[in-house]
Amino acid sequence: MDRIKVAVMGCTGLVGQQFVRMLHNHPFFTIHALTSSARSAGKKYGETLSWAVEGEIPEPMRELVILETSVESILKTGARIVFSALPASIAEKIESILRGYGLFIFSNASAHRFDEDVPILIPEINSDHLEIVKRQLARTKGFIITNSNCSTSGLAMMLKPLEPFGIQSAIVTTFQSISGAGRRGLSAMDIASNVIPFIKNEEEKIETESRKILGKFDGLKIVNRDMIINASCCRVPVREGHLMGLVIEFEKDVDVRTVENALSLFRGVPQEKRLPTAPEFPIVVRHEEDRPQPVLDIYAGSPERARGMAVTVGRIRKKGRLLNLFLLVHNTIRGAAGTCILNAELALMKRFIRADQTATGGGQE
């Protein structure tokens, strides 16, 4: 199969950099364009960048000249798929216009997450929600698929395998790393030796997105899951990885061993279909008394391409119908770029994208 040309919008940011790292030597996709704001446009990727993710800048990307993000610049490159790591306010319009030209947009931005015909896709959890993009394709030439907020991805991954035991409520407290706020997010003066018990809009995103992700697709629309989800969010001075304390209230008693088995044996469509970015086990259960920890566990997941795609859980304790645990998610991999790439792999595998299609002009919405 010829590899499909893709563009990465927001390539200089933390999520954009993860895209560049994870798409290097990808079996299905090849980067043809990188875009940013006017600040970095016109410079070579290897020259302008302060690289902040694992490893080195992939050699072929160093010489690529960054384009200013615009509809015209993306269309000129012939890219079929666009991975978006733009701020939501910028993403909203350009993602819609590019969709109108027949491009397939996989976005980390929150702008379209609650559009009726746009899924918030986490393929292990709700691969059937992909079907809803047919509603977009009925009225325009391309589609937009979003993935969730970074913390939501870890929480939803925990709740899905435990749903059969009857969940009444989930109360979550997050300890979120500074990389969650982006490349220029927080000053050292604010976060060094500190904990900030507020992240704008984060608690609302966790609560509402989880209900949509865990919702049922009835053939026409996604019906939100009716569940109490109550989130409190903190920013902590950790570089990468969001740790979360979770208390789940079940309808009846469930023993710890049953929960551990349900989590560690959990598999989804990406595992069955052996998608390249799918971790063999999406959830890793740790039994030590002091795990998971960001420093030790954020790169959970194998094979190599899926490092950082597994969510780690530990300290599973039961108090009657309440179950306590800690989970850890890599915010810019499983919580952002990695799931976005997995979504594109799923869409290709399910033939929502065909490698031989070409973009069509003049399709503005």
Ligand X SMILES: NC(=O)c1ccc[n+]([C@@H]2O[C@H](COP(=O)([O-])OP(=O)(O)OC[C@H]3O[C@@H](n4cnc5c(N)ncnc54)[C@H](OP(=O)(O)O)[C@@H]3O)[C@@H](O)[C@H]2O)c1
CB of 120 to ligand X, least distance (A): 11
Minimum separation from the CB atom of position 222 to ligand X (A): 20
State the Cα–Cα distance between residues 2 and 24, nearest whole angstrom: 15
Q: Cβ contacts of residue 223 below 8 Å, gap of 6+?
A: 215, 216, 217
Minimum distance, C-beta of residue 22 to ligand X, in the bound complex (Å): 13
- Using the minimum distance from each CB to ligand X, give the nearer residue, 98 or 316: 98
Catalytic residue among 32, 112, 129, 242: 242
> Which parts of this chain interact with ligand X (CB under 6 A)?
10-16, 36-37, 39-40, 69, 85-88, 90, 108-109, 149-150, 179-180, 182-184, 331-332, 335-336
If DSSP codes are grouped into helix, strand and coil, which group holds residue 349?
Answer: helix
Instruction: Give catalytic status of residue 32 as yes or no.
Output: no
Q: Shortest CA distance to 338 belongs to which of 106, 13, 152, 10?
A: 106
Catalytic option among 26, 32, 129, 150:
150
Nearest distance, CB of residue 84 and ligand X, angstroms: 8
Nearest CA-CA partner of 123 in 302, 309, 332, 313: 309
Considering the complex, state which of residue 43 and residue 350 has its C-beta at the smaller distance from ligand X.
43
Query: Which residue's beta carbon is nearest to the bound ligand X?
Result: 13
Q: Which residues contact 5 (CB under 8 A, 6 or more apart)?
A: 29, 30, 32, 77, 78, 79, 80, 81
Q: Whose Cβ is closer to ligand X: residue 142's or residue 335's?
A: 335
Shortest spacing between CB 333 and ligand X, in angstroms: 9
The DSSP secondary structure of 142-195, one letter per residue, reads: SEEEE---HHHHHHHHHHHHHGGG-EEEEEEEEEE-GGGG-TTS--HHHHTT--
DSSP bridge partners of 35: 9, 67
Note if 150 is an active site residue: yes
Is the Cβ of residue 38 or residue 138 nearer to ligand X in the bound state? 38
Closer residue to ligand X, CB minimum distance, 215 or 335: 335
List the catalytic residues.
150, 242
